[in-house]
Amino acid sequence: MAGLEQPIIVKKIKKEVHPAHGGAWKIAYADFVTAMMAFFLLLWLLAQTTDEQKKGIADYFAPTAVSPSASGSGGVLGGQALDSTGARMSGSAADAEEDAPAAPDRIARGDTDGNLGGSSLDSGNALEADSDSSYDVQSPDQRAFHSAAASIRQAWQAMPEVTPFIDNLLVEVTEDGLEIQIIDQQGRRMFPEGSKYPLEHTRAALAAIAPVLQQLGQPIAISGHIAAGTRFENPRYGPWELSADRANVTRSVLGEFGLADSNISEVTGRGMDDPFFANDPYLASNERVKIVVKNTAPPLPPDLLP
């Protein structure tokens, strides 16, 4: 019987303990979910904004533009130096202009006239001499206007309170002279609705251009313009009154920061008569103040000797 007894075998199974898994995947997943949420939020915001607002946001984050002139001086000479003879040194913009003929060769040319002037008079070309005479009289003013426009843009871009509204400020050199327009845009106003007094950033923009306009010394016309559909609580106070008041207040602000009243030739209110967008007079951009520095040719050439 003793031989029938079997030993009892006890099997012990050892379980291997695996190391705990890391949590890096949780961080990556959280980052992915956050990125997707931000992406869909961006899509939603883009769907809710207008084209003008998108352009304004893009311009706000765009790098600051530099002066279009050849140097940072912004002066009339464009950073070029004068030699001992009083002429510009080689390589200036004026050299390129003087190399071009004043008139095509196929145009008939007559004899010279003693009343004509310019660089072509010595060569006996009356047509080119007449063209050069007109260029010599008007060119300095045009260069001064372009220099003033560059200075105004640089001044505005250096002002943090004005930079978000840089698209509301237009500067252009035209045949009539230097044209500056302060316009409203959807969601970005320069004047409170129905008020003749400018907002603070508008005052800052006007303060920056007043010394430049004073330095030009040319007659200045200021006009106010109102967009169609503007509501007025007072029936006796409408677009004509508001546009005239805004133009006059603009004149007053410019005078406060250095522009003499003797440089102002006219201050007018145009009401809704001259919209910026004639095909849609209800756009906010039709509400604006326009400042025009007139291009008046001097009665005699500036270099004429007695």
Q: Are strands 220-225 and 288-294 parallel, antiparallel or unpaired?
A: antiparallel
Tell whether the model's pLDDT for residue 4 goes beyond 50.
Answer: yes
Tell whether the model's pLDDT for residue 299 goes beyond 80.
Answer: no
Per-residue pLDDT of 18-70, as tens digits, reads: 666 667 888 888 999 999 999 999 888 888 888 777 777 777 777 554 444 44
Q: 29-33, 40-44, 125-129, 249-253: which range is least confident on average?
A: 125-129
Q: pLDDT at position 304, please?
A: 56
Return the residue matching tokens 């006890």: 10
Return the residue matching tokens 């311009």: 59
Return the residue matching tokens 């006219």: 266
Per-residue pLDDT of 137-167, as tens digits, reads: 445 677 888 999 999 999 999 999 999 999 9
Q: pLDDT at position 300, please?
A: 54
Q: Which residues pair with 179 in a beta bridge?
A: 172, 292
Tell whether the model's pLDDT for residue 73 goes beyond 50.
Answer: no
Per-residue pLDDT of 276-294, as tens digits, reads: 888 888 888 889 999 999 9
CB 292 within 8 A of CB 299: no
In a domain, 260, yes or no: yes
Tell whether the model's pLDDT for residue 210 goes beyond 90.
Answer: yes
In a domain, 279, yes or no: yes
In a domain, 222, yes or no: yes
CB atoms within 10 A of CB 268: 16
Q: pLDDT at position 67, please?
A: 46
Q: pLDDT at position 95, please?
A: 42
Q: How many domains does the chain have?
A: 1
In a domain, 291, yes or no: yes
In a domain, 122, yes or no: no
Q: pLDDT at position 9, please?
A: 78
Question: Considering only CA atoms, which of 211, 221, 206 is closest in space to residue 165?
Answer: 206
Alpha helices by DSSP H, 62-108: 93-99
In a domain, 167, yes or no: yes
Tell whether the model's pLDDT for residue 100 goes beyond 60.
Answer: no
> Which whole number is the average pLDDT over 185-196?
88
Q: pLDDT at position 139, please?
A: 52
Instruction: Work out the mean pLDDT of the chain and round it to a whole number.
Output: 75
Assign residue 247 the CATH number of its domain: 3.30.1330.60
The answer to pTM > 0.75 is no
In a domain, 129, yes or no: no
Residue 230 vs residue 111, higher pLDDT: 230
Q: pLDDT at position 194, please?
A: 86
Residue 101 vs residue 30, higher pLDDT: 30
Residue 118 vs residue 252, higher pLDDT: 252
In a domain, 174, yes or no: yes
Residue 190 vs residue 142, higher pLDDT: 190
Q: pLDDT at position 234, please?
A: 86
Residue type at 83? D
State the Cα angle at 229 between 189 and 183, rounded to 5°: 30
What is the residue range of 260's domain?
140-297
CB atoms within 10 A of CB 88: 17
Q: Which residues pair with 174 in a beta bridge?
A: 177
Q: pLDDT at position 130, please?
A: 47
